[in-house]
Amino acid sequence: MAPMGIRLSPLGMAVFCLLGLGVLYHLYSGFLAGRFAFFMLSEPAAAGPETSRGSAPGGAVDLRELLAVSVLAAVRGGEEVKRVREGNVLNAKAKGKTREGAEEQLTSGDLLSNRRMFYLLKSAFPAVQINSEERVDAAEQETVSWDHTIPEDIKQKIQPKEVPAESVTVWIDPLDATQEYTEDLRQYVTTMVCVAVNGKPVIGVIHKPFSAYTAWAMVDGGANVKPRSSYNEKTPRIIVSRSHAGKVEQVARQTFGNKTVIIPAGGAGYKVLALLDVAEKNQEEADVYIHVTYIKKWDICAGNAVLRALGGHMTTLTGEEISYTGSDGNEGGLIASINMNHKALIEKLPDLEKTSHK
């Protein structure tokens, strides 16, 4: 009941209520809109720029994305390799002996390239197993992000393709041809990334830091490199490690004739590029690549993938496919070729297999 002498007007009450509702709307509309926006942005954004399909453990990995990151990792690692060499701050030291008794060298270029490549790949695809030639020191972890940019040449040639993350193994060689690197034989040096799916190499990236040349290929996808137009099966030019030239030369000449050319060279990546059409001033050309002793898988996985994508072959000296799971070493040596009768080459060189375990 209203105080004595005051009568409440129905119209006034209605106006008062409307003003009250207006004040409440003004106070809470922003809050409610903000909560609604938060709810919407909190939904899974499968195609958002901040989300990697390969980032969730047990999820899927898009091989096109992984190729793009692999190319970037090889280039970024190569920048470190080049910077250290040009600054002449190698800090080279022996890290052990090979099975042949030669001293293996380790430089700042190896370590800095490895750190840059490993953490870039790991930040983009944390669920994927990564095997690298050099040990990764957790105390030196660095944050390296990928902006999810896919280069136009990869977009044009490669379609998205997803595989289970647990089926993928990435092999990194942060500095191939370290011995030649210390001798300033820059043409042999490469950085490499390989992606294997269920043990089979499907993506290969080979980057030459001192000329900024990069070759990449994806099996059943595409490539930015191609085979040369001609090869010589009768008297092939055979490219081998500098330390193995003597072992291969005698058998090769007996098999193919005295006109066979043996090309000593450094670096597995460089040797694979010798089989391809590479417009590089310091790149030699060969028909066959042979290695007659034990070799690590990060040395050869990228080259194997590139050759497979282009229709070539890289096998052990007895013709067995090389699996990129399990141990990090390949015991059976290797023979690589493209646009040649690979089986016939293996049959012609039976004696080389005997030396592969020495």
Query: Do 96 and 186 lie in a common domain?
Result: yes
Last residue of a domain, one of 224, 251, 285: 224
Domain co-membership, 307 together with 199: no
Residue 147 marked as a ligand binder: no
Read off the CATH number of the domain in which 318 is found.
Answer: 3.40.190.80
Sorting pLDDT into bands at 50, 70 and 90, what band is 256? confident
- CB contact burial 186-203 (16+ within 10 A = b; e otherwise): bbbbbbbbbbbbeebbbb
Residues 67 and 211 in one domain: yes
Active site residue 110: yes
What the block records as the tokens of 294 is 């034990």
Shared domain for 72 and 193, answered yes or no, is yes
Which is more confidently placed, 34 or 345? 345
What is the chain's mean pLDDT, rounded?
84
| Domain-terminating residue out of 204, 224, 244 | 224
Residues 118 and 90 in one domain: yes
Backbone φ, ψ for residue 239 (5° rounding): -100, 135
The two three-digit tokens of residue 322, written as one number = 């090389």
Has 277 been labeled as part of a binding site? no
Question: Within a domain: residue 14?
Answer: no
Q: Is 133 annotated as a binding residue?
A: yes
* Residue 332 is assigned to a structural domain of this protein: yes
Q: Is a pLDDT exceeding 70 seen at residue 255? A: yes
Q: What is the pLDDT of residues 111-127, one digit of tens each?
A: 999 999 999 999 999 99
Task: Decide if 178 is catalytic.
Answer: yes
pLDDT tens digits for range 36-68: 333 333 333 333 323 333 444 459 999 999 999
Q: Evaluate if residue 30 carries a pLDDT over 80.
A: no
Overall number of domains in the chain: 2
**pLDDT band for position 1 (50/70/90)?**
very low
Q: Which residue has the higher pLDDT, 129 or 24?
A: 129
**Rounded Cα gap, residues 122 and 312, in angstroms:** 30
CATH assignment of the domain containing 175: 3.30.540.10
Kindly state the helix (H) or strand (E) to which residue 171 belongs, with its residue range: strand 168-176
Whether residue 32 is contained in a domain is answered as: no
* Residues 231, 179 share a domain: no
Beta-ladder partners of 163: 61
Are residues 332 and 285 part of one domain? yes
Nearest to 93 by CA among 77, 81, 85, 105: 105
Return the higher-pLDDT residue of 98 and 330. Answer: 330
DSSP per position, 72-119 = HHHHHHHHHHHHHHHHT----EEEEE-TTSPEEEE-HHHHHHHHHHHH
Catalytic one of 110, 169, 191, 287: 110
Catalytic one among 178, 214, 293, 316? 178
Q: Where in the sequence is the domain holding 65, given as residue range(s)?
A: 60-224
Instruction: Tell me: is residue 287 an annotated ligand-binding position.
Output: no
Give the largest CA-CA distance in the chain: 128
Phi, psi of 30 (to 5 degrees): -65, -40
199, 339: one domain: no
Does 337 lie in the same domain as 277? yes
- Residue 238 shares a structural domain with residue 90: no
**Measured between alpha carbons, how far is 59 from 107 in angstroms, rounded to an integer?**
36
The answer on whether 307 is annotated among ligand-binding residues is no
Percent of the chain with pLDDT over 90: 66
CA distance 17 to 15: 5
- 188 and 255 housed in the same domain: no
Same domain flag for 133 and 269:
no
Q: Which of 224, 244, 265 is the last residue before a domain boundary?
A: 224
CA distance 312 to 292: 19
